[in-house]
Amino acid sequence: MFRISQYALLLKGISRGRFDRIVAEQGSDRYIKRFSSWDHMLAMVYAQSAGAQSLRTLEAGFNQHTSHHYHLRTQALRRSTLAEANSRRDPAVFAQVARDLMAQVHRQLRRECESLLYLLDSTSITLKGPGFDDWTAGNATRHTQGIKAHVLYAAHEQVPCRLDFSAANLNDIDHGVTVPIEAGATYVFDKGYCDYNWWHRIDQQGARFVTRFKHNAAVLMVQSLAIEATGAGEILEDALVRFRYRHPGAKRRNVYEKPLRRVVIARPGHATSLVLATNDLTSPARDIARRYKDRWQIELFFKWIKQHLKVKRFLGRSENAVKIQILTALITYLLLALYKHAHGFAGSLWTLLSVLRVSLFQRPACEQETARRRQRRQDDRARWQTELFG
Domain boundary pick from 262, 284, 306: 284
Q: Do the domain assignments include residue 105?
A: no
Q: Do the domain assignments include residue 388?
A: no
pLDDT tens, 43-86?
999 999 999 999 999 999 999 888 788 888 888 899 999 999 99
**Half-sphere exposure (CA, 13 Å, Cβ side) for 55?**
16
Are 216 and 280 members of one domain? yes
pLDDT over threshold 90, residue 127: yes
Alpha helix ranges (H) inside the chain: 6-11, 16-26, 37-50, 55-63, 79-88, 92-110, 133-136, 172-176, 196-204, 285-293, 296-308, 319-343, 349-357, 364-389
Q: Do the domain assignments include residue 301?
A: no
Q: Do the domain assignments include residue 203?
A: no
Contact assessment for residue 264 and residue 213, using Cβ atoms and an 8 Å cutoff: no
**Half-sphere exposure (CA, 13 Å, Cβ side) for 173?**
11
Total number of domains in the chain? 2
Domain boundary pick from 284, 305, 340: 284
Q: Do the domain assignments include residue 71?
A: yes
Mean pLDDT computed over 136-144:
88
Domain boundary pick from 238, 267, 284: 284
Are 233 and 277 members of one domain? yes
Q: Do the domain assignments include residue 188?
A: no
Band of residue 367 on the pLDDT scale cut at 50, 70, 90: very low
pLDDT score for 168:
92
Are 217 and 279 members of one domain? yes
Are 270 and 324 members of one domain? no
Q: Do the domain assignments include residue 379?
A: no
Are 278 and 338 members of one domain? no
Q: Where is average pLDDT lowest: 32-46, 96-110, 152-166, 361-375?
A: 361-375
Q: Do the domain assignments include residue 134?
A: no
Are 11 and 83 members of one domain? yes
Q: Tell me which residue range forms the domain holding 81.
A: 6-93+316-357
Mean pLDDT computed over 212-227:
90
pLDDT over threshold 90, residue 156: no
Are 12 and 89 members of one domain? yes
pLDDT over threshold 60, residue 369: no
H/E element holding 237? strand 235-243
Q: What is the C-alpha end-to-end distance of the chain, expressed in Å?
A: 39
Mean pLDDT computed over 147-167:
92
Single pTM value for the model: 0.87
